[in-house]
Structure 1
Amino acid sequence: MEITEIFTKKNRLLLSAMVSTDFKLRYQQSVLGHLWSVLKPLLLFSVMYVVFIRFLRFGADVPHFAVSLLLGTILWNFFNETTTGGMMSIVGHGDLLRKIHFSKYVVVVASSMSALINFGFNFVVVIIFALVNGVRPSWSNLLIIPIVIELYILGLGIAFFLAAIYVNLRDLNPIWEVVMQAGFYATPIIYPISMISSRAGSYGPLMAKLDLMLNPMAQIIQDARHVLISPANPTLWQWESNFFLACWPVLFTLIIFVGGISYFTAKSQYFAELI
């Protein structure tokens, strides 16, 4: 089964229906409804803003760091929602998979598309917050588009891995929660990357560079801050002159995506027997 099957008319219609249904049911019985899509990251941002910016003074040397914090938060939330939702998507649609024959890729992609819609709402809030805080728009802001595409590919690739593993290993959910929590603090979201380079002694610059090279989310968030908020946010391209090393996070993301699809394809033939 090839992932290109998802583009058949039947699968496209099913994908559209699944995304629409998931979006409608997400906050169906809550009082504020889909406003929670925006309120949840804003409330989290408010807590982090008070603790890390007002009290601990993180990012005092970075222009518009409050905007950077909000942007990093919604990018991470999108990654978290894509991977976690994708992980449980196959098991959650077990009855449908047993009754109807269709491309199993649709289930994972539908979950990621739902997360992408939420991200779109949150991104509008970031743009408004940035303009209010004096961030000047420029044509370079359009570079955020390939960065978001890279983020989506990364999240979807990992989601394919997790979805296939979760069918056999239901303990993966709490394990992944711990991994995501550790990843959140290992990624420069609540602190600027400059804090690593300045507070880790003589190895600081090397550690900051390695963080950007080995952690695609660090590279994505830092690049997004650079093109959308301020060039004062350094990127791996500025720190690494070797073209291959500077491109490594993007290549790593593509490897994860292709590997995730390949693993999912190999395991998908056994899903109906296990869910």
Structure 2
Amino acid sequence: MKTTRKTADKLRYSRVILKELVKTDFQLRYQGSFLGVAWSVLKPLMLFCVMYVVFVRFLKFSDGTPTFPMVLLLGIGLWNFFSEATTMGLNGITGRGDVLRKVDFPKYIIVVSATVGSLISLAINMGVVLVFCIFTHVQFTWNVLWLPLNFLQLYILALGMALLLATMNVFFRDIQHIWEVVMQALFYATPIIYPLSLVVTQLGPKGVIIQKLMLLNPTAQIIQDIRHNLIAPDTTPTVWTMWNGSPLQFIPLLLTLLILWLGAYVFHKHSAKFAEVL
């Protein structure tokens, strides 16, 4: 009975700490800016406008459908979440060294709070995307019922990477610079600003194989799945259609779970040394 009560009190205490950290991080993110939280909407919209002009209007990137601008906007919003969640999580422990030395609480809460803050921004961005979809007469299908699972996988992937990166960054500060380069490479290796069909157009028959390999990347698989289920189920290829019937279609899901497990394991193993190192 005492053990159960002690566990319940610890969970309640952890929830309070998490809530306060999320609130503080979200407020500090826009502190001192004139538009405040509106930047969580304006930033991806401005980025979308730049990429739309450069890649759609100027370079003529398109999948040949009127929904491509919405597909582009959705991809940018999803990528911004993954990029922000992993980057904020990476710096979470090193940025809270003073708190770790003064307050005793589960250290994973710091990384979780960083990713939850990014999740709030994602929710705002998805609301904007939904409004645009309605105004552009996107035809929704029953595939939207899969979206909660898609977003859950995206969050699990971001959290796993954030836990792993946060641990590595405590001991090796070069990680944050390496991760910037990796993210830049991953951005262009993921069909965000260009349609996946462009790979075949540019590379011919070999492009089909490269398409399939690209979709084994969890970020590409998730972004394509969300685009497929929300906006364009008929024109958005996914790992389930490209690898239909093959066990390889489950590789992105397995990688996502592996990254979460690895991140949690490494974080738990080394978290006791954080305060000492910092």
TM-score range relative to shorter protein: over 0.9
Q: Does 1:207 align with 2:207?
A: no
Contact residue 144 and residue 228 of structure 1 kept, 8 A: yes
Instruction: Tell me what 1:225 maps to.
Output: 227
State the shift of 1:72 in Å: 0.3
SS in 2 for 1:81: helix
How far apart are the structure 2 equivalents of 1:120 and 1:240?
30
How far apart are the structure 1 equivalents of 2:222 and 2:11?
32
**Equivalent residue pairs, number:** 271
Contact residue 6 and residue 105 of structure 1 kept, 8 A: no
Q: Does 1:95 align with 2:98?
A: yes
Q: Give per-residue Cα distances to partners, 1:31-66, cap 9 Å, x unaligned.
A: 011100110000000000001111111114244000
How far apart are the structure 2 equivalents of 1:183 and 1:207?
15
SS in 2 for 1:108: helix
Calculate the TM-score normalised by the size of structure 2: 0.94
Instruction: Tell me what 2:64 maps to.
Output: 61
Query: Which residues of structure 1 form unaligned runs of 5+?
Result: none
State the shift of 1:5 in Å: 9.5
SS in 2 for 1:163: helix
Q: Give per-residue Cα distances to partners, 1:202-256, cap 9 Å, x unaligned.
A: 211110000001x111111111111101111011111213342111101110001
Instruction: Tell me what 1:47 maps to.
Output: 50
Query: Which residues of structure 2 form unaligned runs of 5+?
Result: 1-6
Aligned CA-pair RMSD: 1.5
Choose 157-166 or 20-29, whichever is displaced more.
Answer: 20-29
- Residue pairs, 1:1-275, within 5 angstroms: 8-213=11-216, 215-231=217-233, 232-275=235-278
Contact residue 41 and residue 125 of structure 2 kept, 8 A: yes
Calculate the TM-score normalised by the size of structure 1: 0.95
How far apart are the structure 2 equivalents of 1:241 and 1:12?
42
- Matched-pair identity in %: 49
